[in-house]
Structure 1
Amino acid sequence: MSREHGPVDQGRLLTALGLEGRLLAEAVHAAPTEAPVPACPGWSLGEVARHVGSLYRLVRRRLTDGRSPDDWPRDPEPGQSLQDFLETGLTELLDELAAHDPEEPADTWWPADRTYGFWRRRMLHETVVHRVDVEQAAGAEPHGVPDDVAIDGVDEVLTLWFGQKLPMLGLTGTKAGSVGVRTGAHSWIARAGPLTTEAWRCSAEEAEAADDVVTAGPAQIYLWLWGRASLTSVTVRGVHDQAAQLWALLRLATR
């Protein structure tokens, strides 16, 4: 069993998942469910809430059954609010994750990490991104993303979604090249083209040698890579082609 460790402690990931899940539920309670979600065309705020609440239940069943379930609750019970649907699913998932060591084997879709820790990380970022969606849809004051959570999320979106999910989907770039991504003391390379799609952590010097170099604060890089901030919200040094391709490929990987 191989394990792809992220830059943030597993205990912090679990604590952050609990905090972010409750922020999401509170934001859903305070917002109109029919509000459109800017980053998810065709989705309403209520549909995003049902999606996350359903995922909490799907992942818990996957962990307890050892495989992806054929069926699981996708909507609130009659009379159950969306806030309660989210909070109940979150509590059950947190209990299951907390009851197992993060290194314990679990069924996942990433060969580099088949452990309970994968789901601590994956569900944290699923929750953060959709909490941002709900705030944007409601026009609410954003809570922001803590720097350590954002750095972990940058690592996840590059190594998991760009480096793993795109090849799984058979999607590639059209022009070969590389992007250096730098925020705080952390750096990554994302390389794409017709023949390769990969990303890895690297030194600042290696990142600076890429065709394009993207820099910004951790939360801004995180939101940009997840398509929750505009193309112009980060600083790009270079010809911009590779940075634009990275952004576009991630929209395909994470949709």
Structure 2
Amino acid sequence: MGKLSYERHCAEITDQASLLVSALNGADLGVQVPSCPDWTLNQLLRHVGLALSWTDEMIREKRPEVDMTRNKAVDVSGYADEKASVVGPWIEETATSLTSALLAVDSDEMIATLYGNPGPKLWARRMAQETVIHRWDAVNALGVPFELDLDLAADSLTEWAQFALPFAFFRWPTETAALVGPGNTVHLHATDIDCELVLDLTEPRPTLREGHEKAAVAVRGPVTELMLLVYRRRSVDGLEVFGDRDLLDRLLASVRF
């Protein structure tokens, strides 16, 4: 369902990291990042690189399960006054190392598992899309144009629905409980690529279906804009909305990642 191959995800880790770094030429890393207001660009970049490094370590050491205590990407408050000429090459080297580690193992090997899912396959996709969304954060802060392949944007949208949405219900059960109810479905309809997703919120655990069907609320627009919408990087203004706008607003307010 909207998934790229394992090899494509691995390649995108390095490709997206390189695109991110290429936007940093002459940049002031001390600028604030509007979409991540607690971070400067310096801290955003360190977050990306440390997340890649943490994943690389798990895969190379073949840890059986995810160890969140070793994830140094969570707190980047101490980073300041670094130069792009230092941070940029480090991110690219870290991305290359992770890609190499992922390609050296079987995609279904039960290492770095999360919720019983094989780690290599899950983390290749997660780190590719992590780099995509934070590349947008960086170029948006710098006023640089952002472009994304449609199939990669569709994969990002689908990964959010398959991973971030249920994670939010697990992580913030009180906030997301109000989204659950009879008939509560959300249809995301891309207008520039064949990608239509239905988020079913009728039960405590959200489920995902692919295809066109009537829902309580539907949102139509270019796939990259839908991806930015669910990641709360843009407002719904300019997209077509049909049906229960309140349900959509509550979903976007409750599901953060």
TM-score (norm 2): 0.84
1:163/1:105 CA distance change after superposition, 3 Å: same
- Distance in 1 (alpha carbons) for counterparts of 2:46 and 2:148: 22
- Are residue 137 (structure 1) and residue 141 (structure 2) matched? yes
- Are residue 94 (structure 1) and residue 94 (structure 2) matched? no
1:85 paired residue number: 90
For the 8 Å contact 1:110–1:164, the answer to whether it is kept is: no
Which of 179, 188, 193 lines up with 1:181 in the alignment? 188
- Are residue 147 (structure 1) and residue 150 (structure 2) matched? yes
1:37 paired residue number: 33
Shift of 1:105: 2.1
Shift of 1:197: 4.0
- Distance in 2 (alpha carbons) for counterparts of 1:248 and 1:69: 25
Which of 97, 108, 119 lines up with 1:115 in the alignment? 119
1:215/1:150 CA distance change after superposition, 3 Å: same
For the 8 Å contact 2:200–2:209, the answer to whether it is kept is: no
Tell me the secondary structure at the aligned position of residue 92 of structure 1: helix
Shift of 1:92: 1.2
- Distance in 2 (alpha carbons) for counterparts of 1:93 and 1:211: 41
1:35/1:163 CA distance change after superposition, 3 Å: same
For the 8 Å contact 2:7–2:103, the answer to whether it is kept is: no
1:160 paired residue number: 163
1:50 paired residue number: 46
1:228 paired residue number: 233
- Distance in 1 (alpha carbons) for counterparts of 2:115 and 2:223: 24
State how many pairs are aligned: 241
1:69/1:226 CA distance change after superposition, 3 Å: closer
Tell me the secondary structure at the aligned position of residue 4 of structure 2: coil
Give % identity: 23
1:224/1:72 CA distance change after superposition, 3 Å: closer
1:69/1:223 CA distance change after superposition, 3 Å: closer
Shift of 1:94: 1.1
For the 8 Å contact 2:108–2:121, the answer to whether it is kept is: yes
Gap runs ≥5 in structure 1: none
1:169/1:72 CA distance change after superposition, 3 Å: closer
- Distance in 2 (alpha carbons) for counterparts of 1:180 and 1:70: 36
Shift of 1:97: 0.9
Gap runs ≥5 in structure 2: none
Which of 206, 221, 245 lines up with 2:250 in the alignment? 245
Tell me the secondary structure at the aligned position of residue 81 of structure 1: helix
- Distance in 1 (alpha carbons) for counterparts of 2:5 and 2:141: 31
Tell me the secondary structure at the aligned position of residue 106 of structure 1: coil
1:73/1:188 CA distance change after superposition, 3 Å: closer
Dislocated runs of 4+, deviation >4 Å: 69-76
1:192 paired residue number: 201
Instruction: Output the amino acid matched with 1:39.
Output: S
Alignment RMSD (CA, Å): 2.4
Cα deviation code 1:148-170 (max 9, x no counterpart): 11111111111111123422442
